[in-house]
Structures are given as C-alpha cells and as structure tokens.
Amino acid sequence: MPRQPTVSGIQLENLAACLTPALTVLNELHDSFAPPFILPIANAVTSLINLAQNVKQNAKECTRLLENVHQVIYTIISLHIKSETPGSLPPAMMDQVGTFMKTLHKIYIYIEAQQDRNKFKQLFRYNEMNNILKDCYAQLDQAMQTFEIRTSGAVLEDIAEMKNAAENMHKELLELISNVSETETISGASSH
C-alpha cells in the first residue's frame, strides 16, 4: 500500500514547484549577463529540488530551510534585475551571494542525509547533522538580514502568487535583456 503524503511532504513538493520557475530565471540571468555565482546557485537549487522529493526524515526542518532558500533566491534575482548595472551587483553584495552559495551546499548535505532511514547511521550522525542544521539556519538568517528580506511566516499560503511573482521577474529580466541588446545595437551602429 502506498504511503500517504504528509503535510511536510506536500509542502516540500509545493516548494519544489515554486523553485522551478526560479531556475528558469537564474539560467536566463546567467546566459544573458553571466554574473558570478548564479550558475552554481542554479545547479545547487536543481539538486535540492531533486533531493526534496525523497526526504524520509526531518521533513519539517527541510521545508523550513527550503522556504528560506526560496525567499533568498527570489531576492537575489530581484537585486540583479533592479541593479544600476543590469545583471551586476556591487562587490560587497556579490560576496554575500557567494556566502549564500556556500550555505546552499551545507543545506544540500543536510537534506541529503535525510534520505536515509537507517536509524543506526542517524544515531551516530545526530550531533553532526544537528550542528549542520544550526549552521544552515544561522547562515540563512544572516542572508535574510543582509538582503533585507521580511518574513511573513507563511511562505506557502499562496502558491499562485509565488508563481506570478516568478513570471513577473522573468518578464522583467526579458525586458532588461531586450533593452540592453537594443542599447548595444544602437551604440554599435553609432560608432561606425
């Protein structure tokens, strides 16, 4: 008999569905402007989405981590789109994006460990995983403060709104790319 999905399992699936449009925007941002860290972040998010589908332990913690990841990623995308130089951020902010990328790798380690149901292994790794989880929360909180993200506490309440936000960011990025292309075409034509 198939296992009934839990609330946390459903939330993880919904988060994966909300992170997927962000991947499209991240990849287009990378293809258009090639800002540092964007491609590794997109790759890490792809891996996290795949892992989230098979979480067997601590699904609530995994959900909370991915909710925060979701917020930070959309903020990073927005910062790139709205920056003075399209697709570029100031060096101090880029350093914070790089730190966030490292945090994604820790989150990956934690969520990957939640795939295993072997109680004996989990007992031996309990302290290690607990420390990694605490580090992940602390680093995500730091990222949320750095990027000035206001948490509403109910990220998953309106998935349609989240998808609309992703679509709007995607449209803004496409407009930005179009404007940059037109500017380069005009400046290239006027220099001849």
DSSP 83: S
Residue with tokens 């995308």: 77
Q: Which pTM value belongs to this model?
A: 0.81
* Number of C-beta neighbours around residue 35 at 10 A: 21
The answer to whether the beta carbons of residues 24 and 80 sit under 8 Å apart is no
CA–CA distance, 181 with 188 (Å, rounded to integer): 10
Predicted pLDDT at 153: 47
Band (pLDDT 50/70/90 cuts) for residue 163 is low
Domains in the chain: boundaries? 7-181
Name the residue type at position 18. Answer: C
The answer to whether the beta carbons of residues 104 and 45 sit under 8 Å apart is yes
Predicted pLDDT at 156: 42
pLDDT tens digits along 4-23:
777 778 888 888 888 999 99
Residue with tokens 């990220």: 155
CA–CA distance, 59 with 153 (Å, rounded to integer): 17
